Every structure is written in structure tokens, then in C-alpha cells.
Amino acid sequence: MTQTAPAESAEADGEQTRFASLDPRTGEVVGHHPVHTAADVEAAVLRARTAAAEWAALGFDGRRARITEWRKLLVRKLDEFQSLISNETGKSADDARTELALVIDHLHWAGKNASRVLGKRRVSPGMLMYNHSASIEYKPLGVVGVIGPWNYPAFTPMGSIAYAIAAGNAVVFKPSEYTPGVGEFLARTFAEASPEHAALFQVVTGFGETGAALCRAGVDKVAFTGSTPTGKRVMAACAETLTPVLVECGGKDALIVADDADVKAAAAAAVWGGIFNSGQTCAGVERVYVAEAVADQFIELVTKQASKLRPGGEPNAPFGPITMPRQVEVIQAHVRDALDRGGRAVVGGLDSIRPPYVAPIVLVDVPEESTAVTEETFGPTLVITRVADADEGVRLANALRYGLGGSVFSRGRGEELARKMRCGMVSVNAVLAFAAIPGLPFGGVGDSGFGRIHGEDGLREFASPQSVTRLRFRAMLNPMTYERGSRTVRHVVRLTRMLYGR
């Protein structure tokens, strides 16, 4: 991804040593950042390792107190942080504020729940091992490398960072080359809130090579969020050293509108879910399957609402520009493909694409083979497809290799249809609600990746379970010694038959 961010080269040896992040609305430079080399990344990981040991030694309560200080500082600096996010991504002030509210809620949840989820707890030893006590404890991994995208430059990586730190790890974070300032802001505020642990959360900036170096720098886990092709590269690099990975990739999420849906609510949700943040949302709505019985009404409502929305650079615009210039070509290619294959635009069309802005585009009658249906568009577009009923909608929704999230609108069958969807998260009669509930795990299946951020699973993702047993007293029958007689094993087998054979 080095082609679009402006670079500044060191004069001596032609090596690029720093780069600029730009405001996509104006092209103005927001800030300059170093291009960290593999040696820089290794040094950061080394520093993090010492910091990790000190952080782990604080225990849950000590860590929670420091996370609370960080959370409060982020709240105090919310306006400053919001404008930095808007400057680096171009997103509207309200989209950035919404993102930050979620960041803070998740940070709170992770800090508060780490002890309950990961702390030592007793486990029943079972009938055969009644003379032992058994316990499990989730220990920190050490140093976690986090690689993040630009579309939610705070919320997305913090889904890993907050949970990894709460679980007792140090973090080295490589933000997207489009949003390095947001990454640095996060690390700076952490250091301000907890100065004696400044090395616990470090940021390394640069391009894809810096991210690749992080995969090879000896971290204990890599948490990657980004596109599926890069996810595969990250996994391949991590395989060289058997470094475990968490892979959160793209999606092509579908919204199903059943014939018993509240059509008005479904239309409003489809418009917001497809267009907010300029459609640059991994789990945003890209496809809609609407039951024939309510399709006309639904399409009319969506058309009416989406036609009113215009992107802009002003802070109160409903949504901003496309952050990554290269993405405009993808949006254009998908819309063109849909139209070439017989699709119709009921809102906007190719004319809506005026870089860096793309106005809403709503397409109907698009064949399922079109790239507008099969690939992630990441723009303010919706493809609406009429289906006989919600079941056909679910079948088509499940046909892709992506499987991140989804939504269902139905008064009577919501949860039943949700369970039939092949994806990691579903909202019934809402869109994206799952992302805003910190206790729920977030992640996908298939090409959308594996592993989970958020919730209890998100905490355990950054910890290693250790099982411990302790002998409480000698058992009358102990088959796990050569001192056992054949009678002992016979008794154990008889007991097994009695307990489990009926």
C-alpha cells in the first residue's frame, strides 16, 4: 500500500525514512511519521518484553486502575481525538465521535472483566479424580503485535489492544499508513496515564514492510485486522516462526428483510448500515435480500432516504470522503460491472463517483455473479435483491466465502433466521448492534478470518490457559501407578460402566 501515501526520502541513501499522513478531504499534510525498519521493530518488541513482565506483575487490580486512568484521559481528550480521526480519515465528526464512544466502552469492559474471565478459578475434578483439586488460570502471552486498518483507526485496533493490555500483555501496534497519527495518539495517551509503563504500548509506523517485520519480530501473537489478501500474507509470515495469529478480515455482509418485517425500520437501517462512514465498514451492509411481498415498499423507502444524503468535508456532513484513494477504483469497477450485467441504479450511478467523494449508489436487479455482489466494495453502495422469501435470502447471503456479520429484519422469525446465517455475528431488527456490545465476541468465518476480539473470547484470545491439579488425599483406587493391582483397574472400569454406561 505504499503507492498512495506521500513519501519523503532521506537524501543520503535514497531510503525512505519518513512519510506523511494526509487529510483526504483537502490533501493537506496532517503529520509526518517515521518509517520504522525491521531493526526498529525488533527493538520495540525487546523493550515491550521488559514492560510486559512489569505489567503482568501488577495483577488484575493494578492493571485495572491504570486502564481506568487511560480511559478517563481519553474521555477528557475526546474532542482532540475526534478531530485527529476526522483529519486522517476524512470521516464526519459524528462518525468519529461514535467510534470513540465505542472505544471507551470497550476499554471499560475489558478492564473491568479481565479478572473475572481470566483469573484463577476452580474446576470440578469429576468422579474419577475426586481426590484432586483442579483449577485454571489464563496467563498473559507476553508481547502482542497488533496490525490495524484505517477505516476505524481507533475502534478496530483497540478491539485487540484494550483486550490484550487488560489480559496483561504488552502491545506493539502498527497502524495503517493512512492513520499513523491515531495510533500514536493512543500510545501517547496510554503513556501519559501510566508513565511508569510507557513501553507497554508502543507504536511503529511505516508501510506494509513494517507490518511484515512485526510478524517476524518474535512477538507472542499477531492480531491482524485488514483485508483478506493481506491477512493471508500475515499468516504466511507468522507461520515461519509458529507465531499464533488472530485474523479479522473483510466482509460482504447481508441484511435480510422478511415479509413480516417492520419495513420502515429495515429501510432506515439499510441506509445507515450501508452508507455511514462512507460504507467503509467491515461489517457494514453491502447486500440486501428483500422478500418480494415487501420489496417495492422497501426499495421506495431506501431510494427516498438515500437520495437525500450527500457526502462532504464539513464536520457536520452526513458522511465524508473515501479515505484511501485506490478504493475509488474498486467502487467504480463494482458499480460498472453491476450495470454492465443488467443492474439498475435507483439512486446515483457512476456519476456519483467524484473523488474523493462518492455519493450514495443503490443498485437493483444485479446478478449474483457481479463483483458488486461477490466482493467487498467498501463504498456507500447497496445492492438490493428481491427474493421469494427470507429463506432464499439467507441461502444467497450464505453463498459467499465471506462470513463476517449480518442482519435480519423480521417480527416473528428473527432469531430463527439469524441462526441459519453463516457468519460470526447477527443483529435482529437492527444493524451492527453486535459491534457495540462489549460483552459479545466479534469476528467472522471463512474469508472473513478467525479468532475473536471483544467479550470473554476476546480476552482469552490474548491469554494462555494453564491447568493445575493438586492431590488432596490418596485415593483408594489409583490406576495411574504401576503399584495398581489388576483389581484396581477392574474396579475403575466397573465404576465407569456404572456411571456412564446407562
- Give the residue numbers annotated as catalytic, written as ranges: 248, 282
Q: Does 376 bind ligand NDP (CB under 6 A)?
A: yes
Q: Does 249 bind ligand NDP (CB under 6 A)?
A: yes
Nearest Cα to Cα of residue 234 among 256, 249, 251, 254:
249
Q: Does 215 bind ligand NDP (CB under 6 A)?
A: yes
Question: Which residues neighbour 267 within 8 Å (Cβ) at sequence distance 6 or greater?
Answer: 298, 301, 302, 305
Q: Does 149 bind ligand NDP (CB under 6 A)?
A: yes
Minimum distance from residue 175 beta carbon to ligand NDP (Å): 6
Distance CA 248, CA 231 (A): 8
Minimum distance from residue 306 beta carbon to ligand NDP (Å): 21
> Which cell is 356 given?
474523493
Minimum distance from residue 5 beta carbon to ligand NDP (Å): 8
Q: Does 34 bind ligand NDP (CB under 6 A)?
A: no
Minimum distance from residue 91 beta carbon to ligand NDP (Å): 13
First to last CA, the chain: 62
Question: Which residues neighbour 88 within 8 Å (Cβ) at sequence distance 6 or greater?
Answer: 21, 23, 30, 150, 153, 178, 179, 180, 181, 182, 323
Q: Does 405 bind ligand NDP (CB under 6 A)?
A: no
Q: Does 158 bind ligand NDP (CB under 6 A)?
A: no
Which of the residues 257 through 296 are near ligand NDP (CB under 6 A)?
Answer: 282
Q: Does 225 bind ligand NDP (CB under 6 A)?
A: yes
Among 48, 234, 246, 366, binds ligand NDP (CB under 6 A): 234
Q: Which stretch binds ligand NDP (CB under 6 A): 195-203, 227-235, 299-307, 490-498?
A: 227-235
CB-wise, 133 or 227, nearer to ligand NDP? Answer: 227
Binding mask 316-355 for ligand NDP (x = CB under 6 A): --------x-------------------------------
Supply the DSSP symbol for 363: E
Among 82, 86, 176, 202, binds ligand NDP (CB under 6 A): 176
Q: What are phi and psi of 71, to 5 degrees?
A: -60, -45
Q: Does 404 bind ligand NDP (CB under 6 A)?
A: yes
Among 32, 233, 336, 491, binds ligand NDP (CB under 6 A): 233
Minimum distance from residue 155 beta carbon to ligand NDP (Å): 8
DSSP class per residue in 371-398: HHHHS---SSEEEEEEESSHHHHHHHHT
CA atoms in the 13 A half-sphere facing the CB of 409: 27
Q: What are phi and psi of 448, to 5 degrees?
A: -85, -5
Parallel, antiparallel or unpaired: strands 287-291 and 254-257? parallel
CA atoms in the 13 A half-sphere facing the CB of 44: 30
Q: Does 95 bind ligand NDP (CB under 6 A)?
A: no
Minimum distance from residue 344 beta carbon to ligand NDP (Å): 27
Q: Which long-range contacts (CB under 8 A, 24 or more apart) does 491-495 make?
A: 492/128, 495/127, 495/128
DSSP class per residue in 113-160: HHHHHHS-EEE---STTTTEEEEEEEEE-SEEEEE--SSSTTHHHHHH
Q: Does 250 bind ligand NDP (CB under 6 A)?
A: yes
Among 31, 34, 125, 208, binds ligand NDP (CB under 6 A): 208
Distance CA 47, CA 203 (A): 12
Among 23, 99, 184, 248, binds ligand NDP (CB under 6 A): 248
Closest CB to ligand NDP belongs to which residue?
Answer: 211
**Amino acid in the structure at residue 110:** A
Distance CA 382, CA 397 (A): 14
Parallel, antiparallel or unpaired: strands 254-257 and 201-203? unpaired
Minimum distance from residue 270 beta carbon to ligand NDP (Å): 18
CB-wise, 170 or 247, nearer to ligand NDP? Answer: 247
Number of residues forming the site for ligand NDP (CB under 6 A) = 30
Note the residues at the interface with ligand NDP (CB under 6 A). 1, 147-152, 156, 174, 176-177, 207-208, 211-212, 215, 225-227, 230, 233-234, 248-251, 282, 324, 376, 404
